[in-house]
Structure formats: structure tokens, C-alpha cells
Amino acid sequence: MIALEKQIQKQFFPFIFTLNPYIDIWKNISGTISIDYPDCGPIKDVKEFRDKFLANKKYFGGKNVVLLFDEFQCLLDTEEYFVFCSEMKNIMDNRATYNIQAIFGFGTFQTTKLAKIDSKSTFSPFHMPETTIIEPLPEKLVYILLNEWASTIGMVIPPSILKDIYITIGGYAGILGLLGLALQSSTSIT
């Protein structure tokens, strides 16, 4: 996400929101906004997000905004889902008014469910042709990669631990890569 943010900064104004299922979406978004823009005040709903924040050109230094929502699947079971997606569609349809270039949602496989639910809906900004699905790695490949990384430091990972790791990371390559880097940078045990 950080690398993407740096790339986007060259031409646009990226704004990252990490959603949390245990925190009200608007408290979460308000908290993120208040770090850099305390004068914006609290955001109570999607319309205030649009009118108080996105429509205010002074915040973005003349650049169009790219919204990045991490853990986007957190919207799936909320009361806000329909209103939020409808308003994001409105914002995308009126890009010039709201200084918006693009909206990205990142999340687990549940995010594809969001796209499938509304793939034919006029109210959603999320359409399946615009959805990139990154499939998790198969369990066997995760075991092979982990053992390869572990062998660089003379370690053997027991099958039960491999299974626990796979269950925990779900086969997602990014998390697996971080684990591999941690293993490779560890001190050899031989």
C-alpha cells in the first residue's frame, strides 16, 4: 500500500483509509482526516465526507484525489454499505466537482462478494470488470516456499506449524513474502 501511495503521489493526492470492523466507519474516517486536516471537523456520514472534505479544494494542493480503502470488506455487513456505495458512485460520476481521480478498495476475498452483489447495480462504483482478484496460493506451494526460506538458515518447519501458518495467512502472497523475508533475515540456527 505504501509503494502504491508513493507512486500515486507523483501526480495525484492519495488518501488512505484503513477500515476496521470494530470502529464506526465515520469515526474511523474522521480520525484519519483529522490527523492532517483538523479544521475539517468531524465527519458523520458519507454526505459530509463528500461536501466537507472532498469538495474542499484547499486540502489537496490542486491535485485530484485517489481514495484508497484498505480492509474494504469491513463494509460488507454494515448498515452503511448501500448508502456508502451509492454516494461513492455519485462522487465518481461528478469527479470534477469532488476532485476525485479514482477510488480503490483493497481487502480479502470477501471484497469480491461486494463487487458481485452490485455488478449490475447502478448504485455501485464497483464493477466486476474493474475488480482484480488476487487468488491465494495453494497450500502445497506455501509449504514449499516456507521450507525453502527456512532451509536458508538451517531450519526445518514441522508440518503442524506449516498448517497453522497457512491457516493464519490464508495463502496470501504478500503476507507470505513478509514471512519469508523475516525467515531469511533471521540468524542461522546451524
pLDDT in the model for residue 37: 86
DSSP state of 9: H
For residues 103 and 71, give the distance between their C-alpha atoms in angstroms, rounded to a whole number. Answer: 14
pLDDT in the model for residue 119: 47
Q: What are the phi and psi torsion angles at 27 (to 5°)?
A: -65, -40
Q: What are the phi and psi torsion angles at 17 (to 5°)?
A: -120, 125
For residues 98 and 100, give the distance between their C-alpha atoms in angstroms, rounded to a whole number. Answer: 5
Does the predicted TM-score (pTM) go above 0.75? no
pLDDT in the model for residue 159: 92
Closest C-alpha among 107, 132, 124 to residue 1: 107
pLDDT in the model for residue 111: 59
For residues 98 and 59, give the distance between their C-alpha atoms in angstroms, rounded to a whole number. Answer: 12
Three-class DSSP category at 101: strand
pLDDT in the model for residue 123: 47
| Cell 489537496 found at | 60
Q: Which residues in the chain come in under a pLDDT of 70?
A: 1, 108-134, 186-190
pLDDT in the model for residue 72: 80
pLDDT in the model for residue 21: 81
